[in-house]
Amino acid sequence: MKQLLLLFLVAASFSFTSKNAKLPVNSTFAVVADNQTTVKWENQEIDLGIIKHQVPKTVEFVFTNTGKTPLIITDVKTSCGCTVAEYPKEPIAPGAKGAIKAMYSAGSMGKFSKFITVTANIPGNKVDLNIFGEVQ
């Protein structure tokens, strides 16, 4: 019983002291957060429907920089060599629009789903865009 009471008192003392504890601010994190912006995508998925074999299809993923700092896209990668993407190399000002353009060349028949990963100064640093459909 004494051990249980002692355990309770120790736990209670930790809970009272933790309420008054001040955590140090990580200035590096604050700088990174200040440089981030937010983006609103008109769409993050595009359904190409049924497309013809070996006939390239081009799509645009349009976005708006909804943050307070310029959007800087540092990299765009596609999930395979059948998809090629272009992106703005210059910073996108707050309130301005831009687009990621992607061209898909169907090499095989059947259903497909391809991803375009955009790396930028946004929360999470990356966003995946998707094009899908069926090749006949």
What is the secondary structure of 37-95 as a DSSP string? --EEES-SEEEEEEE-TT--EEEEEEEEE-SSS-B-EEEEEESSTTEEEE---SPBPTT
- Residue 29's pLDDT band (boundaries 50, 70, 90)? very low
Domain contains 17: no
- Long-range CB contacts (< 8 A, 24+ apart) of 20-23? none
Q: Count up the domains in the chain and report the number.
A: 1
Domain contains 66: yes
Domain contains 20: no
Domain contains 101: yes
Domain holding 76, by residue range, is 33-135
Domain contains 113: yes
Of 16-25, 39-48, 92-101, where does mean pLDDT reach its minimum?
A: 16-25
Angle at 135 between CA 98 and CA 107, to 5 degrees: 85
Domain contains 26: no
Q: What are phi and psi of 12, to 5 degrees?
A: -65, -40
Domain contains 100: yes
**Across residues 46-57, what is the average pLDDT?**
95
The CATH number that applies at residue 128 is 2.60.40.10
- Using one digit for the tens of pLDDT, what is the confidence trace for 77-120? 999 999 999 999 999 999 999 999 999 998 899 999 999 999 99
User: Sign of dihedral through CA atoms 114, 73, 65, 124?
Assistant: positive
pTM score over 0.75:
no
Domain contains 5: no
